[in-house]
C-alpha cells in the first residue's frame, strides 16, 4: 500500500472514533490539569470488546487495603474523584444514593491527587459509604483502559469477569447508570 493511503485511512479511523465519543449537551469536563477533554459521556462496551482491568489495588483513605481482583464475580463501580473537583462534588450525591440502593453492586472510589485531610473531609461531608483507594500521583488512574489520562471525574463499571463494561467520562447524572448496572448484573 502506498504511504499516503495508510495515513489517510488512519486519519479517517481516528476521526470516526472521536466522532463516536463526541459531546452531548455541550458540557465541559474538568481534568486533573484543568483542561477540557473531548471524549466524555456514557459508553457501554459489548462483552467481546471489553478490555481487562489491570491490577487496581492500594491503601484506602481509611488506612485499609483493597485489591479489586478480590471482587471478581461481582459488578464493581470504580469512581475517580478528588476534593478539589467541582464536578465530582456534583455527582457524589448520585453515586452515594446508587451505592446505598444497589445491594448487588460494589462501589469503590479512587481518590486522585488529594491530601489525607482533604479526602477525609470530602468523605465525611458527602457521607461516602464505600472505600476509596488513595491515588495521590494518579498512577492508578493512568492504567485504567478506556479512560483518558487525568479524566476526573470518571467512572468505570467492571463486569463480573474483571473487564471494563462501561465508562462515564464526566459527571454521572441521575438515572444514567441504573439501566447499565441492571444489564451488566444480569449477564
CATH at residue 176: 3.40.30.10
In a domain, 145, yes or no: yes
- Cα 170 to the chain's mean position, in Å? 9
For residue 153, whether the previous peptide bond is cis, meaning omega lies within 30 degrees of 0, is yes
In a domain, 3, yes or no: no
In a domain, 19, yes or no: no
Beta strand spans in the chain (E): 41-44, 57-59, 65-67, 75-81, 105-112, 132-135, 154-158, 164-169
Q: Which three cell numbers stand for residue 113?
A: 491527587
Q: What is the pLDDT of residue 40?
A: 65
Q: How far apart are CA 62 and CA 68, in angstroms?
A: 16
CA nearest neighbour of 157 among 67, 37, 74, 55: 74
Q: Is 71's pLDDT higher than 70?
A: yes
Q: Is 99's pLDDT higher than 80?
A: yes
Q: Is 144 helix (H, G, I), strand (E, B) or coil?
A: coil
**Which tens digits make up the pLDDT trace of 115-148?**
999 999 999 999 999 999 999 999 999 999 989 8
Q: Is 166's pLDDT higher than 50?
A: yes
How many residues are recorded in the chain? Answer: 187
**Which tens digits make up the pLDDT trace of 19-62?**
333 333 334 444 443 434 445 699 999 999 999 999 999 999 99
CA nearest neighbour of 155 among 7, 42, 34, 6: 42
> What are 109's strand-pairing partners?
79, 132
Q: Which three cell numbers stand for residue 146?
A: 478506556
In a domain, 72, yes or no: yes
CA nearest neighbour of 106 among 185, 187, 186: 185
Q: Which three cell numbers stand for residue 184?
A: 451488566
**Domains of the chain: total:** 1
In a domain, 18, yes or no: no
CA nearest neighbour of 111 among 98, 126, 100, 97: 126
- Phi first, then psi: give them for residue 159, nearest 5 degrees: -75, 180
CA nearest neighbour of 108 among 127, 81, 142, 88: 81
pTM of the model as a whole: 0.80
In a domain, 132, yes or no: yes
Residue 172 belongs to domain spanning: 24-185
Q: How far apart are CA 142 and CA 178, in angstroms?
A: 26
Q: Is 55 helix (H, G, I), strand (E, B) or coil?
A: coil
Amino acid at each position: 500500500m502506498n504511504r499516503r493511503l495508510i495515513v489517510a485511512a488512519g486519519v479517517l479511523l481516528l476521526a470516526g472514533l472521536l466522532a463516536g465519543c463526541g459531546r452531548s449537551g455541550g458540557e465541559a469536563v474538568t481534568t486533573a490539569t484543568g483542561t477540557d477533554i473531548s471524549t466524555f459521556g456514557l459508553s457501554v462496551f459489548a462483552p467481546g470488546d471489553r478490555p481487562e482491568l489491570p491490577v487496581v489495588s492500594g491503601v484506602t483513605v481509611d488506612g485499609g487495603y483493597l485489591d479489586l481482583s478480590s471482587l471478581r464475580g461481582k459488578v464493581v463501580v470504580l469512581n475517580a474523584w478528588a476534593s478539589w473537583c467541582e464536578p465530582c462534588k456534583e455527582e457524589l450525591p448520585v453515586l452515594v444514593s446508587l451505592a446505598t440502593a444497589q445491594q448487588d453492586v460494589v462501589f469503590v472510589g479512587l481518590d486522585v491527587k488529594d491530601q489525607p485531610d482533604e479526602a477525609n473531609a470530602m468523605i465525611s461531608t458527602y457521607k461516602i459509604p464505600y472505600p476509596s483507594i488513595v491515588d495521590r500521583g494518579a498512577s492508578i488512574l493512568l492504567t485504567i483502559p478506556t479512560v483518558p489520562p487525568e479524566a476526573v471525574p470518571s467512572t468505570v463499571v467492571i463486569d463480573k469477569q474483571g473487564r471494563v463494561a462501561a465508562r462515564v467520562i464526566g459527571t454521572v447524572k441521575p438515572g444514567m447508570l441504573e439501566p447499565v448496572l441492571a444489564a451488566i448484573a444480569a449477564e
